[in-house]
A = this chain, B = another copy of it.
Amino acid sequence: MTTIGILGTGRVGGRLAHALASVGHDIILGSRNPDAMDPDRTAGLGPAIRLAEQRAAIALSDIVIHAGPGDTALDRLRAHEAELAGKILIDVSNATHDAPDGLPGELVHPDGSLAERLQRALPETRVVKTLNTMLFPVMTAPGSLATPPTVYLSGDDEDAKKAVAGILADLGWRPEWIEDLGDITTARATEALILLVPHVMRRGGFRPFAVSLAR
């Protein structure tokens, strides 16, 4: 059992919280304003999921998952540099400007990646990028697809990537579906995959998919 802080109480954070709680992890869901959260949403959390302010959620956790908006992540997480020191930060977000129809548009960091910038801004934190190349329901139900999906890992620290691979396994990802691409600079490749997503969704609607390696 690991204590996992999840920053972001939207559909991504909520889904990860429930899936990881259901396999026995201790989950602290970090909200920017926990008192203001919708009671309907908090009522269903269950005993294995606690709600806390984000700073406390980080401080109390061994591993922190960033499941908030990517475009503002750098400033928000930089403000928590002290609490994040020594921890593993899993970033599942994509930093894009919205297109007029609300789907992801241009990359915020076309000359690099959010993950690289997070790692530079948080030198005492081990940043791992993963789970950012699929429609969100696939994150916690990879086996529900008809064809084998891929999840990518980017990060400078091998032990951190091993720990994250363990969490992916808890979410249902088989070892052969996990593609370790290399160091954090390889996140530039997976973050660019988001450019495909709006076009696929405009043509095919909200049908779960993962940008994967067919072999």
Query: For chain A, what secondary structure do more than half of its interface residues adopt (helix, strand, loop), or is it mixed?
Result: mixed
A79 to chain B, nearest CB (A): 29
State how many residues of chain A have any CB contact under 8 Å with chain B.
Answer: 34
Q: Which residues of the partner chain B approach A147 to less than 8 Å between Cβ atoms?
A: 147-148, 212, 214-215
Interface string of A190-215 (1 = CB under 8 A from B): 10110110011011000111111111
Copies of the polypeptide in the assembly:
2
User: Is B180 touching A203 in the complex (CB atoms < 8 A)?
Assistant: yes
A34 to B181, CA, bound (A): 40
Write 30 A-B pairs (CB below 8 A) sorted by A numbering: A110-B111, A145-B215, A147-B148, A148-B214, A149-B214, A150-B214, A152-B196, A179-B200, A179-B203, A181-B196, A181-B200, A181-B203, A182-B199, A186-B199, A188-B195, A189-B199, A190-B196, A192-B193, A192-B195, A192-B196, A193-B211, A207-B215, A209-B213, A209-B215, A210-B213, A211-B211, A211-B213, A211-B214, A212-B212, A212-B213
